[in-house]
């Protein structure tokens, strides 16, 4: 069987690890207007505040550790490197901390800065973006957080659709469906699994063969069993 397992993850994957999500009432986003620090054009008129916000987010992930769901993704990718693809909407590095290889980050990566002129990418790990690294060493352009802001193109979506062309089992973990229409994406797959904390108005339940409404940090065992069964037997 050549069809792949595609695991598409969102903020719910990292919630149990203490990563602030966009919709958390007391998270990093709560006291910020997304139009001022995460929308197309904000770097033109609100550069310093935007950079500072992502400095805070970068520091927020430094001491966070992967949970069972991250480790599951890493195990499956290591065991079935040609069969399993990991795609995430998350900009944190917990999948990488779990030693998960070849993760496709759709919306950017907090560890990275990107030149606004030549697009060169530099990994700064957890360092603050400041006067020492805000000028591109290649062209002298201004650096920015390598994050896809609302209203900006998301070039990695093309890569996601190429991966989904070979999808046999689509596993969606921890996403509301408001940013990416995961119900639409189920048409790529023969079998589909959804794992969210609770139902979402943006997701059509009938599009999924199995649904687990519980924390990914708990549901991971059942999901891992389903994935292994599909890889070994071609069904779930």
- Spatial separation of the C-alpha atoms in residues 181 and 33, rounded to whole Å: 24
Candidates 5, 10, 6; CA nearest to 200 is: 10
- Spatial separation of the C-alpha atoms in residues 175 and 173, rounded to whole Å: 6
pLDDT computed for residue 33 by the predictor = 80
Residue 107 among the catalytic residues: yes
pLDDT computed for residue 36 by the predictor = 85
Parts of the chain belonging to CATH 3.30.1600.10: 20-63+108-147
pLDDT tens for the 236 residues of the chain, in order? 569 999 999 999 999 999 866 555 555 556 678 788 899 999 999 999 999 999 999 999 999 999 999 999 999 999 999 999 999 999 999 999 999 999 999 999 999 999 999 999 999 999 999 999 999 999 999 999 999 999 999 999 999 999 999 999 999 999 999 999 999 999 999 999 999 999 999 999 999 999 999 999 999 999 999 999 999 999 99
Parts of the chain belonging to CATH 3.40.50.1220: 1-18+65-107+154-236
Angle at 203 between CA 103 and CA 220, to 5 degrees: 45
Q: Count the alpha carbons within 13 Å of 177 in the hemisphere toward its beta carbon.
A: 20
Residue 101 in 3-state DSSP?
A: coil
Candidates 202, 213, 220, 225; CA nearest to 17 is: 220
Token readout for 50 is 């935007």
Q: What share of the chain is helix, strand, coil (3-state, %, to 5)?
A: 35, 20, 45
pTM to 2 decimal places: 0.95
pLDDT computed for residue 25 by the predictor = 55
- Name the residue with tokens 């891992």: 224
Say yes or no: domain 1-18+65-107+154-236 is CATH 3.40.50.1220. yes
pLDDT computed for residue 26 by the predictor = 57
Parallel, antiparallel, or unpaired: how do β-strands 108-115 and 121-123 relate?
antiparallel
Q: Which of 70, 105, 107, 161 is catalytic?
A: 107
Of all helices (H) and strands (E), which one includes residue 160? helix 156-164
Say yes or no: domain 20-63+108-147 is CATH 3.30.1600.10. yes
pLDDT computed for residue 28 by the predictor = 56
Token readout for 127 is 């360092």
pLDDT computed for residue 35 by the predictor = 80
- Spatial separation of the C-alpha atoms in residues 29 and 207, rounded to whole Å: 31
- Spatial separation of the C-alpha atoms in residues 12 and 69, rounded to whole Å: 10
Parallel, antiparallel, or unpaired: how do β-strands 143-147 and 108-115 relate?
antiparallel
């Amino acid at each position: 069987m050549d069809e792949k397992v595609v695991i598409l993850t969102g903020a719910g994957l990292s919630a149990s690890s203490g990563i602030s999500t966009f919709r958390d009432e007391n998270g990093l986003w709560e006291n910020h207007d997304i139009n001022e620090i995460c929308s197309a054009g904000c770097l033109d008129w609100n550069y310093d505040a935007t950079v500072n916000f992502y400095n805070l987010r970068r520091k927020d992930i430094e001491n966070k550790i992967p949970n069972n769901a991250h480790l599951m993704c890493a195990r499956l990718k290591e065991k079935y490197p040609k069969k399993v693809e990991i795609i995430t909407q998350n900009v944190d590095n917990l999948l990488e901390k779990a030693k998960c290889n070849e993760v496709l980050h759709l919306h950017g990566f907090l560890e990275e800065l990107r030149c606004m002129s030549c697009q060169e990418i530099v990994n700064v790990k957890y360092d603050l973006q400041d006067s020492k690294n805000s000028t591109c060493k290649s062209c002298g352009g201004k650096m920015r957080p390598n994050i896809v802001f609302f209203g900006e193109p998301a070039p990695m979506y093309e890569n996601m659709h190429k991966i989904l062309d070979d999808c046999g089992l689509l596993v969606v973990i921890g996403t509301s469906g408001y940013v990416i229409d995961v119900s639409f994406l189920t048409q790529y797959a023969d079998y589909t699994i959804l794992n969210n904390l609770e139902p979402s108005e943006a997701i059509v339940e009938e599009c999924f063969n199995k649904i687990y409404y519980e924390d990914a940090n708990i549901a991971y065992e059942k999901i891992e069993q389903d994935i292994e069964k599909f890889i070994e037997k071609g069904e779930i």
